[in-house]
Amino acid sequence: MIRNTQRLSPLTDAWNWQLHARCRNMDSDLFFPHDDERRGERIRRERVAKEICIQCPVRSQCTAHAVSIGEPFGIWGGTSEAERRQLRADTGTSRTRSSRPPLRISGRYHSRIIEKMSVSPT
């Protein structure tokens, strides 16, 4: 058996910046669109969210994270979905969620999920 003696670092180190975000304890509805949101409402909500991001100490880390993973929703680091798409185009970063392989669900779990979705709560 081959032993890997290399020391692993915890993944939490890559996420510690989130602990210092101004939005950490705020309602996420402010940063993400609603299904029935009208254009004017969306513009106002995004403006407020971006104002919060302007003074955030981890704004650059947040933006970099959202761009690097291709985050398609919400305000991240003061950027909207369209602004992040433009940043990816400008930097040549093409990774988006749609380029990831689709999630595969095995047959036995798929039928359970469909069954749960079709059952209405009483």
Among 17-21, 81-85, 117-121, where is mean pLDDT lowest? 117-121
Q: Which residues sit opposite 79 in a β-bridge?
A: 76
Give the model confidence (pLDDT) of 24-67 as tens digits. Answer: 999 999 999 989 999 999 999 999 999 999 999 999 999 999 99
Distant-in-sequence, close-in-space partners of 45: CB < 8 Å, separation ≥ 6: 30, 33, 37
Burial class (CB in 10 A: 0-12, 13-18, 19+), 74: middle
Higher pLDDT, 4 or 38: 38
